[in-house]
Structure 1
């Protein structure tokens, strides 16, 4: 591990922090069902970055799959809901920010991949534990998120001098204690449930990669996209305003899932050796 350059982990942490910051900023302004749709542009960014940075070549079905993902995003987001333009009720800047957030995350994933490729030669063919990469990346990500807090406060119109007070109030809201707990319904169990679910999801995905392959893991994760879109459109207890999905939104989602499935089709050994 000491033989690996730490600059790549710094880059991973910075890009992931930028992805979190931009994603949270856009997510607060976008309707729920549009968020997982826009986030799937991650695949398109990943294809572009890996081609440019890693020199990877992709099969025709993978390229067509990415184009279908992009087409599905456009159809689903611009078609809107029955009660109006679902994603066009907000400024265009916020869908664009969410797409940029996916670009940051995709860039981080490509750098992680380059770390594994480089480790194969630096560590004399020894396997680099994926948890080591994630731990270093997450550590630098947390550091950069803290460094970005002043920028976030300015974007939200919060004076920097009042930032400690906001952090204190945020901690009180998270724990659901104190006098000002308006809008903190469900805390602390709801945010803790989110954290626990996220950890379990990531561990399950990593375990699936370990016992099968990245393709199987991607296909399994892909199934969460239409499910999350449908669930987020429902009038849930803490999301009371449900969104009525139009037929075009459903068609766009179907095209997106078709593109993801086409992208993840296993390649023949001949194609794999040719494109590696």
Structure 2
């Protein structure tokens, strides 16, 4: 088998406009072709590039234009046409990539919520086992994928040599979020948790503004607010959530809100890692599995330290934890004398695979957009999963009915997404043009 081709750091043609060049013999380019405000005095009639062909990496590391035509109109008009076409293509390509990544997050997020419920049908007596299986199993899976990508040359030594402190902070934040969420989730009612989770958007807006120096326009803030209101209407209508929140007091809802603060801080920190890596790495981007693998490893480390506390939250005494894990593994494999494990291991495995796909797609969307956009896409899966539970799913039993305010809540949520995203696309296009003018 031929050895793999060497890795280059050439920018993608979809993200970078073509570099316009004259022939090697021409000592100077026309100023309009270079995007200058006024043309330089040409020494001879230049040629205008119409199509880009990427040269071999060894010869030229950047995309170059190789097809030439004699200009039939003024040089300034031809160059301007090429520049506008290039910018429009880049803007549309980037917008399409974000749209496809957002759709993947919505689909994976919906499947993640539904399959978690299905996975707990056979493992209803072992939810803590399922949580630990996901936490520690992902370390093995992510590092296996990372090793394969390293052998294939996708992951470089430069990526692996990035500072570990940010990944350590990611692990701490994810472990604290899990611990606080488990503690509060053991007390709070089911419908109240998606409502409290809407503070996640608020935390992301605040943290992004503080640490990433982002400034949000009024339509973006209003759109995020409408998304949160839409989810609250969808979940809370007819569920008596207000009464259940009052009965639990103020401590546990506040603890759940703190857990979402840790999750938002984790997401913003990962976005910071991608931004800083793009400045340090020659290839301009760190591989997703470098971030996932190291973050999951440190999370598993701190989860081990928190095991006595977490096992107590789930009602499992720490000295009985080995027996609990053994029985949970037997039920997961649907082996032994434990009854009521029908659906295992298929349903738990499906949940683990879809949950991993959701985490990867969410991190990919975060890499190419922002923490707030990834949060909005994830939030859109809430009403879709509520609707999915009204379908005749296996092992669930009687299908649930839609809340009375489902349609109204979904409409408000969709309006918020449109209000946030459509002006954002127009603004991004304008920013792109102004950057390159």
Counterpart residue number, 2:346: 189
**Structure 1 pair 236/98, CA: closer, same or farther in 2 (3 Å)?**
farther
Counterpart residue number, 2:4: none
Aligned-residue CA RMSD (Å):
3.6
Counterpart residue number, 1:137: 295
Counterpart residue number, 2:307: 149
Give the number of the structure whose alpha-carbon radius of gyration is greater. 2
Provide the C-alpha distance between the structure 2 equivalents of 1:207 and 1:13, rounded to a whole number of angstroms: 18
**8 Å CA contact retained: 2:224, 2:376:** no
Greater RCO, 1 or 2 (C-alpha within 8 Å, sep 6+): 1
Counterpart residue number, 1:68: 226
**8 Å CA contact retained: 1:15, 1:107:** yes
**8 Å CA contact retained: 2:227, 2:412:** yes
Gaps of 5+ in 2: 1-158
**8 Å CA contact retained: 1:33, 1:229:** no
Counterpart residue number, 1:168: 326
Identify the range of structure 1 (134-143 vs 18-27) with the bigger mean alpha-carbon deviation. Answer: 18-27
Provide the C-alpha distance between the structure 2 equivalents of 1:119 and 1:147, rounded to a whole number of angstroms: 30
How many pairs align?
A: 269
Counterpart residue number, 1:104: 262
Q: 1:268 aligns with which of 427, 434, 437?
A: 427
Structure 1 residue 128 and structure 2 residue 282: aligned?
no
**8 Å CA contact retained: 2:201, 2:224:** yes
Q: 1:240 aligns with which of 397, 401, 406?
A: 397
Provide the C-alpha distance between the structure 2 equivalents of 1:244 and 1:256, rounded to a whole number of angstroms: 20
Provide the C-alpha distance between the structure 2 equivalents of 1:244 and 1:267, rounded to a whole number of angstroms: 39
Q: 1:11 aligns with which of 169, 177, 182?
A: 169
Gaps of 5+ in 1: none
Provide the C-alpha distance between the structure 2 equivalents of 1:185 and 1:202, rounded to a whole number of angstroms: 27
**8 Å CA contact retained: 1:8, 1:115:** yes
- Residue 249 of structure 1 and its aligned partner are, at CA, apart by 4.2
SS in 2 for 1:268: helix
**8 Å CA contact retained: 1:32, 1:229:** no
Greater percentage in helix: 1
Counterpart residue number, 1:43: 201
- Residue 36 of structure 1 and its aligned partner are, at CA, apart by 5.1
Provide the C-alpha distance between the structure 1 equivalents of 2:414 and 2:356, rounded to a whole number of angstroms: 24
Provide the C-alpha distance between the structure 2 equivalents of 1:18 and 1:260, rounded to a whole number of angstroms: 30
TM-score in terms of structure 1 length = 0.77
